[in-house]
Structure formats: structure tokens, C-alpha cells
Amino acid sequence: MHFPIDKVMREAWTQRREYAGAMMYWSGAARLFEKVMRPSGAIILMYHSVADAKAASFIDPANRIDPELFERQMGFLSRYRHVVSLSALVADITAGSSPRAGSVCLTFDDGYLDNLTIAAPILEKHRLPATLYLATGYVDRGEAQWADVLYWLLEFRTRDRLSLDPVGTIDLASKQARLEASRTLHGLLLPADYENRTRLLGEIQRQLAPSAALPRLTMNWNEARNLRDRYPLFEIGGHTRDHVDLRKHLGAPADAQIRGCADDLRRELGLEPKHFSFPYSRWRPENRQAVVDAGWTSAVGESWPIRVGSASDRFTLPRVESPRTLTDLRFKSSGAYPGAFSLLGAAKRDRLGIQ
């Protein structure tokens, strides 16, 4: 899961960036930028759920992509881009090489069941490698990600009032009120540890009394082993045990999440820890060092520049959120992203929210 601090502002900026990117892509400006600047470096794309219509009703829209769009995106990448495994990318940058422009790496966070049932067959069809980062505690429990639990509670509620000590009474009758409530509750749940998060969600469920049961959305260990055995191009990495914000839970709690996740992968899948993903892309220097000390060979998290090359730190590799349109994918997977935004000029970039 990935939740920016100001979700509404970030979504508005994203829409403006997508418009600007589409304008440059179809006008030919992006292609001209590539021709003149000759950029290098790979883009790592971040996906979550590829849910069918039935499961999508229970999954936060920010965390899912429609299977038909995903199929079209993978078809485009297989024909027009150079898709590499994360292991190959890490090996390249460790050796001091920068992948050529148009190189793309595919990653998935959390461990949604549809990564096995829907995404993996599509990737196999196009012979594309990918990496799945499992939140191993959720796999142990067969538990849905907390953002999806909250989405389910709000969407299937039978009551329109919610009272919680940290925020007071919330009226959920209108769409706008529900959007504001969702932002407020995300702000409470994201930095919480697993125990307090579970307690808060339990209280919300008690008060809202949802009308439908939440289906199992996360794969279990048998399904993770199935993925490992049936789809060898799908590498499996770790995403902590309980998807906690490591910037908030430092020291022993963070170490338990990082090392415990590695232990779970060894025990259940027979895998040595290799690729790690910081939840919400958030990390501190001591988190990075804990990942190194635990034996992981790479990690993805918030960093800059967005293009991955020889100068990139393999323990803080940046990612790009999964594009919501095929045009956005065309632009973001090209050598023009994000450098071509410089063609717009500083004032224009500020209006678009481009950094």
C-alpha cells in the first residue's frame, strides 16, 4: 500500500502530471527529448492488486488496477520496452552499469491473491519477469490489508455515524463526508503498530456493522509456494511482517519486522532474503542499515533521481506508481520520464505539481 501524506493534493498533482505527460508523448516532445538528451536508467513500476470485478468491490481503488488494463499494459511493455528482473537490474547497478532507456522492472506489493490468479498468468503469457513483496504476517493470517478492511467497512456500512476517541463523531451520510473520514482514518491507521491498528479497525467494524463479509484477498503460504513453483519468473521478496511504517517504529520493533520477514521467507518458502520493500516507501538511515544487516541484497523506497542507474543506492531504489492509463505507461516507461518535464519550464512545472 502507498498513501501520501496529503492524498487529495497528491491525486490532483498526479492527474496534472498525467495530462502533461500525455501532451508531451503525443506531441512528439518526449521523443525529441530522448533523441537529444540520450538518457539512461530503468524505471521500477509499483503495482498492488489486479482484481476482478467481484474482488474489486472490497479493495481500495488506490491499490488496484483493472485486469484488462493490466493485460494491455503488459502487452505494450513486452513489445516496446525492455523488461528486466529486479535481480538483473540490481546486478547491473552493482557492477556499475546503467540500463538503457526503456528498461522497466515490474514489482507488486503486499501479496494479493490476484497476483497469483490473474497477474501471474498474464505475465507468463508475455514472458515478463516481476517481483512480489510479501507482507508475511498478513500471509500467515490470511488477512486483508488494513486499507482494504477500512474501505470495506465504509462501503458496506449499515450505519452512518462513527465515534472514535481520537477524532470524535463522524457523519458518513454524504460522499464528501466519507472521503474526509477516509483521509482522517488513514491518518490514524497508517502510523499505528499492528496491535493498535487491529483494535481501531475492530471498533470501526463494531460500530458500522458491515452488511457483507470480507472475502480473503491475500494469498496464504500454500498459494505463495504455488506462485514460486509455477511461475519461476516471479521472484518473491519481503515487505515487513505487518506493513508498519518503519520511520515511526524504530529500533527493536523495526528490526523485528525486517528480520522476521526474512525468517518467514526462509521457513515457508525456502528462500534466502533478497529483495525488500519499505512500506509506504518510507525509511530512515537506520532502517536502511537494518535491511543490510538482515542480509537483504536490495530495497525499494522513496529516493531521487527516479531513474535507476549506476549511481543508484541499491538499498533505496525509487519506484513509480502503476500508471492508470496506457498513455501514461507509454510516457513513464520511456526515456523521457521524468526529464522531459523540464521542457515545460519552471513556472509551468510548479502549476502541475511536478518536482
Contact 34, 221 (CB under 8 A): no
Which three-class secondary structure state does DSSP give residue 96? coil
Residue with cell 505507461: 329
Confidence tier at 14 by pLDDT (50, 70, 90): low
Which distant-in-sequence residues (6+ apart) come within 8 Å of 5 by Cβ? none
Would you list the domain boundaries of the chain?
Answer: 7-142+217-352, 146-208
- What is the distance between the alpha carbons of residues 141 and 175, in angstroms, rounded to a whole number? 32
Interval 57-78 mean pLDDT: 97
pLDDT at 130 over 60: yes
Contact 160, 154 (CB under 8 A): no
Model confidence pLDDT, tens digit, residues 147-198 = 999 999 999 999 999 999 888 999 999 999 999 999 999 999 999 999 999 9
Q: What percent of the chain has pLDDT over 70?
A: 92
Residue with cell 538483473: 88
The pTM score is 0.91
Burial level of 272, CB count in 10 A (0-12/13-18/19+)? exposed
- CATH of span 7-142+217-352: 3.20.20.370
Model confidence pLDDT, tens digit, residues 37-56 = 788 999 999 999 999 999 99
